[in-house]
C-alpha cells in the first residue's frame, strides 16, 4: 500500500488507487462539497503530485470512466470518493450508508472499522461485522469484485490483503507486471485492472499495470489465507531486523578497517573473512522461515554463522595464500546473488539486505544494495585467477572477461535483473578491469567507448523489452516508453532527488560520506606512496580500477546514492586487507 512517504494514510491509499500512481495527501482530509465531490482534496493532491515528480494525475481513473459513459458510485466516508473521483473531485453518486443494490457501473463500497489496531477482540468483532455486511450486499454473480485494504492499521508501513472474485474457475493468486512476483500487487494496479476489464485504455500517467492471474501453491482457501498471514509476518519481521543487522555489519567493517589503519595485520585479517561472509548469510536466511525466531537470536546468529564460514574458509584455504579465504567468500557471495536472481530472486525479497514490499521500490531483480554487493564481489572474483595463476595470462584475462559477462547478463537481462543503472555501471567497470589486467592504459577514448557500449546495450535491451506486450514489460521497457512519451526527464529528476535525499536520510549516511571523503583525501595526499606500493601489483590496480568505476557510476546512476559505494566496502575492505597487508611471523604456516 506504499504511497510516497514511509507511512500511508487511508486518504493517500484511495488517491493512489484513483491516480494509478503513488500520491501523497500532505495531511489534507476529504471534505464533502456539493454532496458528491471533494474538490479541496483533489486540488491539494494535484499540487502535491506536481511537487513529487511522480507524474501522477489525481482523478485519472474517474476521468476515463466518465469519458466512456460508465457511472461511478461511492458509499462510505467522504474519503472513499478519492478512490473513484474525476479530476474535479466528483463521482456520479455518493451516500454514506450502504446501498440496498449494487448500481451498474463501477462502485466503491467502504466497509470501515479496521483503520486502527485496537485490541484483538475488537478486531475480530470488526471483521465479523464486515463479513456480515459484505455477505449481505446484493452482488450479481457476473460482477467482478475486488476487496482491497487501502492502508494498514494505524497507517503503519505494512502489507495488506487484496482479493478478487473473477470467473477463473479455481483458486489462483494475483500478480502484476509491476511486481513480476506471484502473490504481490500494488494499490496502483487496481485502476488499470478495472479499466482493462471495461475495455478502456490505461492513461500514460498511471504507472500501475493490469493485474494477472498466477498459479497458487495453496491447496484451498484456508491454506492461502494462512500463507498470506505468514508472508505478512515475514515482511514485518524483516523490517524490524534490517536496522540491527545493518548496524552489526557496519561495526564489523569499521573494526576491520580500523585494525588495518592501526597496522594490526593479524587482527585485521581475522575480521576480513567474517565481514565478507556476513552478506551471504543474510541472503541465505531467505531459504528458512527465520521470521519465526526471536529477533535478538537472528541478529546474533548472523555474525556467528559468518564466523563459522570464515573459520572453514581460513582453515581450508590459508595455505593458498592470505588472500584465498576472503577471495573464496567473495566468490560465494557472487555465486549466491547471481544464481538467485536467475532462478527467480527468492533471496532478494524479505531478507535483511534485500528489498521489502513495504517500500515497494522493487519486487524482482536486484535491489540497489544487492547490486552493490554483487558488483563488488564480481570485481574480486574477476581477479582471483590472476592471484591463483599469475603466469597464465590467457586464462587470467579470459576468466575476468567471463565473470564480467556473467554479472552483466544477470544484472541487465529483462528476465533477471532488468537494472538500467547497474548495467551502465557494470559494463564500463568490467572493460576497465580487463584492460588494466592486460596492461592497457585507460584513457578518455577507451573510457568513452566502454560507457557508450553500456548505453547501447541498455538501449537494445530496452527496445527488446518495449516490443513485448505492455503487460509483460519490465521497468526497462517502461522506462523506454517514458522516454518516448517525453516523461524520461521526470524519472531522471525523481531519481536524482532520491539520490541526494538519502545523504541526509540517516546518521549512518553522513558518517559513511565523511569516511569516504577522508579516505579520498588521505589517498590523494599520499598518492606518491600509494603509486610506489601499487607499481608492482597489477592485480590490485585492476581491482581498484574496476571497483572505483562501478562505485562512482553506481552512486551517480541509482537512487540509493551513497548507500551503494558504502555497501560495496563490505567486500572491498576485507579483500584489500587480505591481499595487501603483510603476513606476520605468527601467521606464517609451519612445516
Q: Quickly state the pLDDT bin for 17 (edges 50, 70, 90).
A: very high
Q: Quickly state the pLDDT bin for 491 (edges 50, 70, 90).
A: low
- For the residues 319-328, what does the mean pLDDT come to? 88
Q: Quickly state the pLDDT bin for 559 (edges 50, 70, 90).
A: low
- For the residues 458-479, what does the mean pLDDT come to? 63
Most confident range (mean pLDDT) of 159-168, 179-188, 523-532 is 179-188
Q: Quickly state the pLDDT bin for 392 (edges 50, 70, 90).
A: confident
Q: Quickly state the pLDDT bin for 162 (edges 50, 70, 90).
A: very high
pLDDT value for 312: 94
Rg over CA atoms, the chain: 27
pLDDT value for 587: 47
Q: Quickly state the pLDDT bin for 386 (edges 50, 70, 90).
A: confident
Q: Quickly state the pLDDT bin for 474 (edges 50, 70, 90).
A: low
Q: Quickly state the pLDDT bin for 84 (edges 50, 70, 90).
A: very high
pLDDT value for 49: 75
pLDDT value for 591: 33
Share of the chain above pLDDT 70, in %: 83
Mean pLDDT of the chain: 83
State the Cα–Cα distance between residues 109 and 83, nearest whole angstrom.
Answer: 10
Cell of 558: 541509482
Lowest mean pLDDT among 74-78, 337-341, 529-533, 582-586: 582-586
pLDDT value for 515: 65
Residue 3, classed as helix, strand or coil, is coil
Scan for cell 521470521, then name that residue.
291
Separation of first and last alpha carbons in the chain: 63
Residues facing residue 212 across a β-bridge: 175
State the Cα–Cα distance between residues 350 and 359, nearest whole angstrom.
Answer: 11
Q: Which among 541, 356, 581 is positioned nearest to 441, based on CA atoms? A: 541
pLDDT value for 489: 59
State the Cα–Cα distance between residues 171 and 224, nearest whole angstrom.
Answer: 9
pLDDT value for 590: 42
pLDDT value for 35: 81
Q: Which residues lie below 8 Å from residue 35, measured CB to CB, with a gap of 6+?
A: 94
Residue 105 has pLDDT above 90, yes or no: yes
DSSP code string of 203-254:
PTT------EEE----SSHHHHHHHHHHHHHHHHHHHHHHHHHHHHHHHHHH
Residue 585 has pLDDT above 90, yes or no: no
Amino acid at each position: 500500500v506504499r504511497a510516497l512517504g514511509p507511512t500511508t494514510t487511508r486518504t493517500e491509499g484511495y488517491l493512489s488507487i484513483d491516480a494509478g500512481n503513488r500520491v501523497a495527501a500532505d495531511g489534507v482530509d476529504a471534505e464533502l462539497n456539493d454532496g458528491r465531490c471533494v474538490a479541496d482534496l483533489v486540488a491539494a493532491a494535484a499540487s502535491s503530485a506536481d511537487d513529487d515528480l511522480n507524474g501522477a494525475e489525481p482523478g485519472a481513473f474517474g476521468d476515463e470512466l466518465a469519458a466512456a459513459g460508465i457511472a461511478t458510485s461511492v458509499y462510505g466516508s467522504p474519503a472513499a470518493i478519492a478512490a473513484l473521483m474525476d479530476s474535479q473531485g466528483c463521482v456520479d453518486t455518493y451516500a454514506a450508508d450502504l446501498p440496498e443494490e449494487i448500481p451498474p457501473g463501477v462502485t466503491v463500497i467502504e466497509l470501515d472499522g479496521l483503520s486502527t489496531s485496537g485490541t484483538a477482540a475488537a478486531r475480530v468483532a470488526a471483521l465479523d461485522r464486515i463479513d456480515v455486511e459484505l455477505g449481505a450486499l446484493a452482488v450479481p454473480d457476473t460482477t467482478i469484485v475486488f476487496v482491497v485494504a487501502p492502508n494498514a492499521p494505524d497507517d503503519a508501513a505494512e502489507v495488506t490483503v487484496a482479493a478478487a472474485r473473477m470467473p477463473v474457475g479455481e483458486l489462483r493468486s494475483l500478480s502484476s507486471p509491476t511486481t513480476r512476483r506471484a502473490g504481490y500487487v500494488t494499490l496502483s494496479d487496481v485502476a488499470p485492472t478495472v479499466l482493462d476489464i471495461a475495455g478502456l485504455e490505461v492513461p500514460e500517467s498511471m504507472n500501475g499495470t493490469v493485474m494477472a492471474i498466477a498459479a497458487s501453491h495453496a491447496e484451498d482457501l484456508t491454506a492461502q489465507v494462512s500463507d498470506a498471514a505468514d508472508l505478512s509476518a515475514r515482511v514485518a519481521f524483516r523490517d524490524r531486523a534490517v536496522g540491527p543487522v545493518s548496524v552489526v555489519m557496519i561495526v564489523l567493517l569499521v573494526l576491520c578497517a580500523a585494525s588495518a589503519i592501526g597496522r594490526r595485520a593479524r587482527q585485521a585479517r581475522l575480521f576480513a573473512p567474517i565481514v565478507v561472509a556476513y552478506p551471504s548469510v543474510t541472503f541465505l536466511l531467505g531459504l528458512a522461515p527465520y521470521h519465526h525466531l526471536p529477533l535478538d537470536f537472528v541478529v546474533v546468529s548472523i555474525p556467528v554463522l559468518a564466523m563459522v564460514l570464515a573459520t572453514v574458509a581460513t582453515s581450508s584455504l590459508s595455505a593458498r595464500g592470505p588472500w584465498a579465504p576472503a577471495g573464496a567468500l567473495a566468490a560465494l557471495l557472487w555465486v549466491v546473488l547471481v544464481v538467485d536472481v536467475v532462478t527467480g530472486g527468492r533471496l532478494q525479497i524479505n531478507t535483511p539486505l534485500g528489498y521489502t514490499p513495504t517500500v515497494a521500490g522493487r519486487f524482482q531483480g536486484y535491489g540497489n544494495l544487492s547490486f552493490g554487493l554483487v558488483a563488488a564481489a564480481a570485481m574480486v572474483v574477476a581477479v582471483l585467477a590472476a592471484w591463483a595463476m599469475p603466469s597464465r595470462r590467457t586464462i587470467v584475462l579470459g576468466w575476468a572477461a567471463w565473470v564480467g559477462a556473467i554479472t552483466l547478463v544477470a544484472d541487465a537481462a529483462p528476465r533477471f535483473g532488468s537494472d538500467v543503472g547497474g548495467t551502465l555501471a557494470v559494463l564500463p567497470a568490467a572493460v576497465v578491469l580487463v584492460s588494466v589486467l592486460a596492461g592497457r592504459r585507460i584513457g578518455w577514448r577507451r573510457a568513452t567507448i566502454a560507457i557508450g557500449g553500456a548505453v547501447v546495450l541498455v538501449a537494445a535491451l530496452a527496445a527488446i523489452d518495449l516490443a513485448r506486450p505492455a503487460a509483460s514489460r519490465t521497468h526497462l521497457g517502461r522506462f523506454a516508453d517514458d522516454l518516448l512519451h517525453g516523461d524520461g526527464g521526470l524519472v531522471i529528476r525523481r531519481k536524482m532527488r532520491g539520490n541526494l535525499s538519502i545523504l541526509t536520510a540517516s546518521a549512518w549516511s553522513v558518517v559513511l560520506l565523511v569516511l569516504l571523503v577522508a579516505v579520498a583525501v588521505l589517498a590523494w595526499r599520499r598518492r606518491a606512496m600509494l603509486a610506489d606500493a601499487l607499481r608492482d601489483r597489477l592485480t590490485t590496480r585492476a581491482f581498484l580500477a574496476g571497483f572505483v568505476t562501478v562505485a562512482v557510476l553506481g552512486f551517480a546512476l541509482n537512487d540509493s546514492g551513497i548507500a551503494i559505494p558504502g555497501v560495496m566496502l563490505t567486500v572491498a575492505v576485507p579483500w584489500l586487507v587480505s591481499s595487501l597487508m603483510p603476513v606476520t611471523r605468527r601467521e606464517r604456516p609451519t612445516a
